[in-house]
Amino acid sequence: MTLKSKVLFLLTSFSILTACGSTTQTPNVPSESAATDTTTIQEADSVTVELINADGDKIGEALLTEEQDQVVLSISATDLPPGEHGFHIHEKGIVEPPSFESAGDHFNPTDAEHGENSENGPHLGDIPNLVVEEDGTVEAEFILTGVSLNPDVENSLAQPAGTSLVIHANPDDYESQPSGDAGDRIAAGVIFEPSE
């Protein structure tokens, strides 16, 4: 066999082995249609919220989970003052201690009055009071109706300005305008960061 024939034979054999015996997998690259589907990319089935206090220290977490036509909110936190505390979703995804005023007002896309005891209430961001144990801990679950984690759904929490959770110093009385007379903001956490 001539040198030219040997080289040709080796090249042909290598090509056949490469084609038949390769185990390299193609990377899982989304198709063009999937890449432009914002629901697929942005929709979240659940969101974890890190809660911080006025000193900026982490005190717990909240988990929001989309379930059918509602959002289930579970919270676990420590180092809070015992008793009842106003608990709300706010209209901006910025939580700057110590005052947390950066979170804006309550999430209220329907322009309702505050509180379940109000004739034209409540805000979609109104949540029942958080009850903290004597040792400063809380474990609670709430069902939020009328809101969603899906950015393509009306009244989504995934707003361009973002949204946040805020815990107040005092109980919410469920009727005083505009925020239930719940006092200072003592803890907060970002649900969705601003996308603007």
Q: Which domains does the chain have, with CATH numbers?
A: 42-192 (2.60.40.200)
**pLDDT-based confidence at residue 44 (cuts at 50, 70, 90):** low
Q: Is the peptide bond before 109 cis (omega within 30 degrees of 0)?
A: no
pLDDT, average across residues 157-178: 94
What pTM does this model have? 0.76
Residue with the bigger pLDDT between 23 and 78: it is: 78
Query: Does 113 have pLDDT greater than 90?
Result: no
Q: Which strands sit side by side in the sheet containing 70-77, from one edge to the other? A: 126-132, 83-90, 163-168, 185-192, 46-53, 58-67, 70-77, 138-145
Q: What is the mean pLDDT of residues 88-109?
A: 96
Q: How far apart are CA 189 and CA 171, in angstroms?
A: 19
